Chain A
């Protein structure tokens, strides 16, 4: 039985039904959030850790959810922030720069046992790994998840115009990379 976001939110607000509602939330969103995180960090083990942390944050922060944004937006925002924080911590720990962060993603991609794509898809992921953080996020959310710009603007807390520009730049860079490596 599919439960609506409204039912889940009402359940989460009541301490007597909170755990049951939380289980429904996890059941409804675990796969979508996992794939969103996985495309950002490009590695299963990292994605698993981040997804766990994301749901723990959601569980601990249920009272902070005021319903001003949709449940979907709130969850995606937490998952995105957790993923970015994870990559930032990796960068800080190993004192690597922005290009090295991309290198980290490339290595993640090449050593991941759970990559199931063909040669073109590997090259596409390598091209995505070369992008700056914001362009990478926008491209993944648009290209793979086909999210609306307005939803992306709510999640990333930016304007639709800025997102369109980022996506345009990202596509251009990816096409150039593919031509260059062809």
Chain B
């Protein structure tokens, strides 16, 4: 040590000399680093928003479904375009067969019979007598069949 212990031995500017230094370019880059830090802090604080926190699982679930849909539907549509067309054709064909069956049977029934059939109450089912049965059989069976049934 050189024996100097007078702290007021200034260079002449009335201030103590600053013994510290900073890395090169520190002050020039400080502003950009600060603004990036502020943006980062802002993003974190947005992530802590209670509304977003509550909605996050729902949004996540929706995103997951959308992702699964895209992963399954789009490749299916891209790589197997005939599969869906075939399924659609099957559905159309089934519908057509049913419609034809109904139309065929309905044309055999006249309007009043069809109406009475669909409006007939179950309570009438128990009121048939022997004459009704014989009349019914006479309309659809020949004599031999009637004889065989009532024998």
Contacts and interface: CB of A to CB of B under 8 A. Distances in A.
Given A30-B30, A56-B38, A114 B5 contact: no
Contacts of B27: 30-31, 34
A52 interface: yes
Contacts of B34: 26, 52, 55-56
A35 interface: yes
B47 interface: no
Interface string B27-69: 1001101110110010000000000000000000000000000
B22 A145 contact: no
B3 interface: yes
Interface residues of A, number: 41
Contacts of B7: 124, 143, 171, 174-175, 178
A101 B22 CA distance: 23
B5 A52 contact: no
B49 to A, nearest CB: 15
A63 interface: no
B20 A114 contact: yes
Interface string B1-41: 11111010000001111111111001100110111011001
Contacts of B15: 143-146
Interface residues of B, number: 26
Contact of B41 (A56, A115, A119): A56
Contacts, number: 82
A44 B30 CA distance: 13
A146 B14 contact: yes
Given A123-B1, A143-B7, A171-B7, A34 B31 contact: no
Contacts of A59: 38
A48 to B, nearest CB: 8
Contacts of A175: 5, 7
Interface in B85-139: none
Contacts of B33: 52
Interface in A27-48: 27, 30-31, 34-35, 38-39, 42, 44, 48
Nearest to A23: B31
A179 interface: yes
